[in-house]
Amino acid sequence: MRGVGWPRSWAVSCLLVLGFVCAVKAIEVYTPQELLVENGTQARLPCTFKSTQVVSSSTAVSWIFKPEAGGRPVSFFYYAGGKNFNVYVPPFNDRVSWAGDLNKKDASIYIKNMQFQENGTYVCDVKNPPDIDATVTGEIQLRVVERGNLPPSKVGMVAGIVIGTILVVLLIIAAVVYVIYKKKPLDSGCSTAESLMSPVKQAPRKLPSDAVGLVNSVPAGSRQGPIIYAQLDHSGGKQSNQINKSESVVYADLRKS
């Protein structure tokens, strides 16, 4: 009986150990590898994490400082249950504040009045039970520099290049439009001037059809004197001696032979 019971108890113990190991899952913490901060300014230390568990009141964040000159690491900030706890250790004292949002998986902090002696490594450690074992750790190599010595950020450089390219393209388009706009009035002006300077060709005046018939009906020998062409005014209203172009009439000096 003892020989049979021992393997069973051993198997149960192994299952419990495996269950505990499986329950402890990994958490991933992300931070920038390097960060440059101007002396005397406030720095934001970014930290985000990825966990398979829902954030709860048991989720905790701690920040640890490893001096560049060497020495013992110092835990200087702790956040849990919606409250932050400053660990009053030099050189930070009460200069650290919470800047994150655990619901958004953000565990960032602020440190104001950064000093040169605070160069070193800053570690962001997040626990979200049962995700407590970090497979990806968040460590920032922070360096404090003199004011005005910060190099231009890559984002700013890319934005400057994009804006410069857009401005060059807009200038080219404006130049092309300007040339086309200036060219069109000159062409139309030349054509108009040429049309004004060219002589006007008038079509030959034709003899009215009724006048032609009347003249042809008169014998050739009886036609005397010039033939006068006129048009009578049938506009109505007051009588006028003015001859208008309304109806063609032929006056002729006709004599019988």
| Average pLDDT, 10 consecutive residues per value, the chain (257 residues) | 45 40 71 96 96 92 92 92 83 91 96 94 95 88 88 57 82 85 59 50 56 51 50 50 48 48
For the chain, how many structural domains are there in total?
Answer: 3
In this structure, the answer to whether residues 145 and 161 fall within a common structural domain is: no
Could you tell me if residue 77 is inside a domain?
yes
Rounded Cα gap, residues 109 and 97, in angstroms: 6
pLDDT of res. 59: 94
Question: Where does a domain end: 167, 184, 201?
Answer: 184
97 assigned to some structural domain: yes
Let me know if residue 114 belongs to a domain: yes
Residues 73 and 171 in one domain: no
Assigned domain for 201 exists? no
Length of the chain measured in residues: 257
pLDDT attached to residue 167: 85
Examine residue 39 and state whether it is found in any structural domain, yes or no.
yes
Same domain, 43 and 128: yes
Residue 17 belongs to a domain: no
* Contacts with 44 (C-beta within 8 Å, 6 or more apart), sequence order: 99, 108, 109, 110
pLDDT at 235: 52
Q: Give the residue numbers spanning the domain of 165.
A: 152-184
pLDDT value at position 204?
Answer: 57
* 37 shares its domain with 139: yes
Say which CATH number the domain at 120 has.
2.60.40.10
Alpha carbons 42 and 80: distance in angstroms, whole number:
23
Only one residue has tokens 């398979």, namely: 52
pLDDT of residue 47: 97
In this structure, which amino acid lies at residue 129? P
Residue 134 shares a structural domain with residue 231: no
Same domain, 158 and 132: no
Same domain assignment for residues 94 and 51: yes
Q: How far is CA 190 from CA 178, 195, 196, in A?
A: 19, 9, 10
Answer whether residue 117 is part of any domain.
yes
